[in-house]
């Protein structure tokens, strides 16, 4: 086996099946991202990738973080939606810099508490048989519930890979939500890995005519389709979802299969070393923003960095402040002109300033 600094090991993959609680952007470069989006009018596309350890110090291909998906101004995202790293529940960030407070989590909690308050009031109104109050409480309860859910974090998985046909781009990152129904890329890859491993064990048991794994030869190793030297590529198939009337929607489905024969990620050992040991990590690609920035997003505003005051501010509020300043300046100017005119009138009306008639 090749002596790469890191590899995707069977032990790390087995560890992925153990239940556990999950643990400033550089210049944007499209080459850092695996593009799984369908273009307008495109209904299907296929990508071939080879997974790498998620960073140079890891043995697993997966990194779990938490993000909040928020509706934002078109200026920030053409789709109107953008995801932000949760400062509270994401472990692998610089908490000394960013802290652990998250405005979205705070809103989620506060709205949940409000929902419970209105639910109690609803129950009291129900006991009192007060239909009008019940209706009012139900509306408020559901409103706060919706706000709480809108600010709840999502579990997100990140993988690092090489895209076939674009090896010159180097490692790319792919981010996707983890779903409870198992219909997400992480679950698909894990299931595919486990199935191929089990198939290899069953074939070995049949070949050596034994009944138990511990009766197989000591040098037997189950297939690891994610191994950098003896693994396989993965084919990622992205398809557009159509509605009941067979009209295309904005939703897509993803399926993953292993592809081709077992082979190294590259025949060039130096190239593999460069890919595996690339210094770029997920947080260089998927931005981590500070509390102040996220608070502005939560208010539905567009943030910008005020270099003079070294702080994040809202563009809308800044424009409002500038407009108010202009109005104040104009008003002050008008007041000064009015004051000068009034003084001039006072001067004209003052008897002491009148010129006496000269004697004949």
Residue 267 has pLDDT above 50, yes or no: yes
Nearest-5° Cα angle at 279, 8 to 48: 50
Please indicate, yes or no, whether residues 81 and 211 belong to a single structural domain of this protein. Answer: yes
Residue 360 has pLDDT above 90, yes or no: no
Residue 111 has pLDDT above 60, yes or no: yes
In a domain, 14, yes or no: yes
pLDDT average, residue stretch 290-314? 93
Residue 359 has pLDDT above 90, yes or no: no
Distance (Å, whole) CA 66 – CA 316: 28
Please indicate, yes or no, whether residues 255 and 310 belong to a single structural domain of this protein. Answer: no
Please indicate, yes or no, whether residues 157 and 249 belong to a single structural domain of this protein. Answer: yes
In a domain, 108, yes or no: no
Please indicate, yes or no, whether residues 176 and 318 belong to a single structural domain of this protein. Answer: no
Please indicate, yes or no, whether residues 219 and 75 belong to a single structural domain of this protein. Answer: yes
Position 10 confidence tier, pLDDT thresholds 50, 70, 90: confident
- 301 versus 344: the higher-pLDDT residue is 301
Please indicate, yes or no, whether residues 220 and 343 belong to a single structural domain of this protein. Answer: no
Quote the pLDDT of residue 165: 97
Please indicate, yes or no, whether residues 236 and 266 belong to a single structural domain of this protein. Answer: yes
**Residue-wise pLDDT tens digits, 329-340:** 555 556 556 666
Position 89 confidence tier, pLDDT thresholds 50, 70, 90: very high
Quote the pLDDT of residue 219: 93
**Residue-wise pLDDT tens digits, 112-153:** 999 999 999 999 999 999 999 999 999 999 999 999 999 999
Range of 338's domain? 306-347
Please indicate, yes or no, whether residues 313 and 330 belong to a single structural domain of this protein. Answer: yes
Q: What is the mean pLDDT of the chain?
A: 88
Structural domain ending residue among the three candidates 264, 279, 300 = 300
Position 25 confidence tier, pLDDT thresholds 50, 70, 90: very low
Tokens of 6: 């890191």
- For residue 22, the domain's CATH number is 3.90.198
Please indicate, yes or no, whether residues 212 and 324 belong to a single structural domain of this protein. Answer: no
């Amino acid at each position: 086996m090749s002596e790469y600094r890191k590899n995707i090991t069977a032990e790390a993959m087995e560890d992925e099946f153990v239940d556990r609680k999950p643990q400033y952007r550089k210049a944007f470069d499209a080459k850092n991202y695996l593009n799984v989006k369908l273009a307008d009018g495109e209904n299907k596309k296929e990508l071939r990738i080879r997974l790498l350890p998620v960073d140079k110090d890891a043995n697993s291909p997966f990194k779990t973080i938490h993000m909040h998906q928020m509706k934002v101004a078109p200026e920030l995202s053409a789709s109107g939606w953008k995801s932000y790293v949760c400062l509270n529940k994401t472990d692998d960030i610089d908490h000394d810099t960013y802290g652990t407070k998250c405005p979205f989590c705070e809103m989620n909690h506060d709205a949940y508490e409000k929902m419970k308050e209105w639910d109690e009031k609803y129950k009291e109104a129900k006991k009192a048989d007060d239909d009008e109050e019940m209706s009012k409480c139900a509306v408020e309860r559901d409103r706060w519930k919706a706000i709480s859910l809108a600010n709840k974090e999502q579990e997100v998985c990140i993988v690092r890979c090489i895209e076939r046909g674009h090896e010159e781009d180097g490692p790319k990152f792919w981010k996707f939500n983890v779903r409870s129904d198992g219909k997400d890329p992480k679950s698909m890859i894990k299931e595919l890995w486990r199935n191929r491993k089990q198939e290899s064990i069953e074939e070995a048991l049949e070949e050596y005519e034994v009944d138990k794994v511990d009766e197989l030869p000591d040098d037997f190793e189950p297939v690891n389709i994610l191994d950098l030297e003896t693994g396989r590529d993965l084919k990622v198939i992205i398809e557009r979802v159509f509605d009941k009337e067979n009209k295309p929607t904005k939703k897509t489905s993803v399926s993953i299969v292993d592809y081709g024969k077992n082979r190294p990620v590259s025949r060039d050992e130096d190239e593999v070393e460069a890919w595996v040991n690339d210094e770029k990590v997920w947080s260089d690609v998927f931005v981590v923003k500070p509390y102040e920035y996220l608070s502005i997003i939560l208010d539905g505003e567009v943030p910008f960095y005020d270099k003079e005051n070294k702080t994040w501010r809202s563009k809308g509020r800044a424009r409002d402040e500038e407009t108010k300043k202009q109005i104040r300046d104009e008003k002050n100017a008008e007041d000064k002109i009015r004051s000068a005119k009034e003084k001039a009138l006072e001067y004209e009306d003052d008897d002491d300033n009148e010129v006496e008639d000269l004697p004949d």
